[in-house]
């Protein structure tokens, strides 16, 4: 009996896997291990320390000027506040800030004195009684004057009669002196009575003036307020027509061309400022800074609250402009500027960028860039202007230092300069 032919080789079951003659099964077994090896390689490469990218600066010799910087403002050196000299109704002020005025000629305003107030019935009766009293006193004084004049006439007649009949031995010297003195006394009493009558007349006029109510709008009563100095109007405190009292401010006058610079400087910095120190005025609106000199450092400080709420003791420092350019004439009163006062200067010192220094305890330190690594050194620092710092010891010209080194930089760390 015949058996059917099979498609496989002799002795193999049809369900058995045939061997891969190309050897791909070995590659499939190695793939997981190759992936693990690649992952470990990447992890190792990522954890391998790399040079820290840094920026460097160079230690060099250069001039150094230490300045105290603070915000300031311009102000007119001499200011004059014009006040009302009398009480009354002030007319409207026609001048505006910036208008020119001339001393003794420009009329700033006119004041009409207020009219006398009306008397109530009781005050009027009292005033009328005072007038009547002074009128009666005047009549009394006039009668007394008439009596004294009559006595004077009698004394003068007796004196003249004595002089006409005087012979030796007919009248004693004492009687003659008495009659002369009596005539002189009577003449003095008449003059005194005349002066008393004048005083009563003045008192009577004063008492009658209380009853009168003169008009305030007369030409003689109008008071003109003129400018005391030449300059320009800086501010008008009261522009509209209003009733003013003596001493009430009307406007402010000054010369905007005569400016000074006022800066409120911390007291610890003001100690090092002296009159005559050079000043640079920046951020005033022009391209180049203005030159100035310190004129006065006020002796008394005052307390000021900073923007952060901290109490600060500040001192006002006044500076004068030195040869200001034509563009600076546009500055006015209370303009904001930046003031930089030079308190120390040297023409040739060893300096290092201030951003390369940091403190450890009480010592100043920096990192030197050397052969691809960072070396920590301790230095002695001197004056600083905020950008450059004087080096007293620890560095030499030409050294490269790390600028603003990150916290990851340590002594001996591998570093690399940033590409520029």
The tokens describing 152, both together, are 């004077």
Q: What is the pLDDT of residue 412?
A: 83
Which single residue is written with the structure tokens 């693990």?
36
Distance from C-alpha of 420 to C-alpha of 418, rounded to nearest angstrom:
6
**Dihedral in degrees, nearest 10, Cα atoms 365, 370, 375, 377:** -40
Q: How many domains does the chain have?
A: 4
> For the domain that residue 240 is a member of, what is the CATH number?
2.40.50.100
Domain end, chosen from 346, 366, 383, is at 346
Shared domain for 236 and 206, answered yes or no, is no
Residues 338 and 367 in one domain: no
Q: What is the per-residue pLDDT for 21? A: 52
399 and 342 within one domain: no
Which pLDDT score is estimated for 6?
Answer: 46
CA nearest 132: which of 36, 72, 207, 58? 207
Please indicate, yes or no, whether residues 319 and 175 belong to a single structural domain of this protein. Answer: no
What is d(CA 350, CA 347) in angstroms, rounded to the nearest whole number? 10
Query: Where among 326, 346, 366 does a domain terminate?
Result: 346
- Give the CATH number for residue 408: 2.40.420.20
In a domain, residue 20? The reply is no
Domain membership of residue 160 (yes or no) is: yes
Q: Which residues of the chain have pLDDT under 70?
A: 1-27, 45-49, 115-117, 165-171, 213-220, 419-420
Residues facing 260 on adjacent strands: 75, 320
In a shared domain, residues 102 and 229 = yes
Asked whether residue 232 falls in the same domain as residue 88, the answer is: yes
400 assigned to some structural domain: yes
Pairing of β 107-113 and β 223-226:
antiparallel
**What pTM was estimated for this model as a whole?**
0.59
- Kindly state whether residues 150 and 196 are assigned to the same domain: yes
User: Within this chain, do residues 230 and 267 fall inside the same structural domain, yes or no?
Assistant: no
Residues 264 and 245 in one domain: no
β 52-58/415-417 pair status: parallel
Each residue of 184-226: pLDDT tens digit?
A: 888 888 888 888 888 888 888 888 877 776 655 555 578 889 9
Shared domain for 230 and 370, answered yes or no, is no
Give the residue from 324, 346, 368 where a domain finishes. 346
Q: Compute the C-alpha angle 226/232/234, nearest 5°.
A: 100
Question: Can you name the residues that pair with 232 across neighbouring β-strands?
Answer: 100, 254
Q: How far apart are CA 402 and CA 352, in angstroms?
A: 10
155 shares its domain with 207 = yes
User: Within this chain, do residues 149 and 277 fall inside the same structural domain, yes or no?
Assistant: no
Q: Which long-range contacts (CB under 8 A, 24 or more apart) does 161-167 make?
A: none
Domain span at residue 133? 121-211
- Contact assessment for residue 321 and residue 294, using Cβ atoms and an 8 Å cutoff: no
Query: What are the C-alpha distances in Å from 224 to residues 158, 215, 221, 250, 349?
Result: 62, 18, 10, 13, 66
Residue 416 in contact with residue 51, Cβ under 8 Å?
Answer: yes
pLDDT in the model for residue 168? 54
3-class SS of residue 177: helix
Question: pLDDT tens across 136-186, in order?
Answer: 888 888 888 888 888 888 888 888 877 776 655 566 777 777 877 888 888
């Amino acid at each position: 009996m015949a058996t059917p032919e099979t498609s496989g080789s002799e002795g193999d079951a049809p369900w058995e896997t045939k061997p891969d003659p190309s050897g791909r099964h070995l590659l499939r077994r190695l793939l997981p291990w190759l992936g693990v090896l690649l992952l470990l390689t990447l992890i190792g490469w990522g954890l391998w320390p790399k040079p820290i990218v840094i920026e460097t600066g160079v230690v060099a010799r250069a001039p150094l000027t230490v300045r105290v910087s603070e915000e300031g403002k311009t102000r007119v050196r001499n200011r004059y506040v014009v006040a009302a000299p009398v009480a009354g109704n002030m007319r409207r002020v026609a001048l505006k800030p910036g208008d020119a005025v001339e001393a003794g000629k420009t009329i700033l305003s006119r004041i009409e004195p207020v009219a006398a107030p009306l008397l109530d019935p009781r005050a009027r009766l009292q005033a009328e009684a005072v007038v009547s009293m002074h009128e009666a006193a005047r009549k009394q004084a006039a009668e007394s004057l008439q009596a004294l004049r009559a006595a004077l006439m009698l004394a003068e007649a007796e004196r003249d009669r004595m002089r006409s009949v005087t012979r030796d031995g007919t009248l004693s010297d004492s009687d003659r002196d008495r009659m002369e003195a009596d005539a002189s006394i009577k003449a003095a009493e008449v003059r005194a009575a005349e002066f008393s009558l004048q005083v009563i007349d003045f008192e009577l006029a004063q008492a009658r003036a209380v009853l009168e109510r003169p008009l305030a709008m007369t030409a003689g009563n109008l008071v003109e307020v003129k400018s005391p100095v030449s300059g320009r109007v800086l501010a008008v405190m009261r522009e509209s027509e209003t009733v003013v009292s003596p001493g009430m401010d009307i406007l402010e006058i000054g010369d905007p061309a005569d400016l000074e610079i006022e800066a409120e400087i911390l007291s610890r910095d003001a100690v090092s400022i002296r009159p005559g120190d050079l000043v640079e005025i920046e951020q005033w609106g022009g391209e180049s800074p203005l030159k100035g000199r310190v004129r006065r450092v006020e002796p008394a400080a005052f307390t000021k609250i900073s923007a952060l709420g901290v109490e600060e003791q500040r001192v006002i420092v006044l500076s004068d402009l030195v040869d200001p350019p034509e563009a600076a004439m546009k500055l006015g009163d209370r303009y904001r500027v930046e003031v930089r006062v030079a308190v120390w200067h040297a023409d040739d010192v060893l300096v290092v960028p201030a951003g390369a220094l940091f403190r450890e305890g009480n010592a100043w330190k920096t990192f030197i860039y050397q052969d691809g690594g960072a070396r920590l050194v301790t230095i002695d620092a001197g004056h600083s202007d905020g950008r450059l710092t004087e080096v007293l010891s620890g560095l030499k010209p030409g050294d490269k230092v790390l600028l603003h080194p990150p916290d990851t930089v340590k002594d001996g760390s591998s570093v690399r300069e940033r590409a520029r």
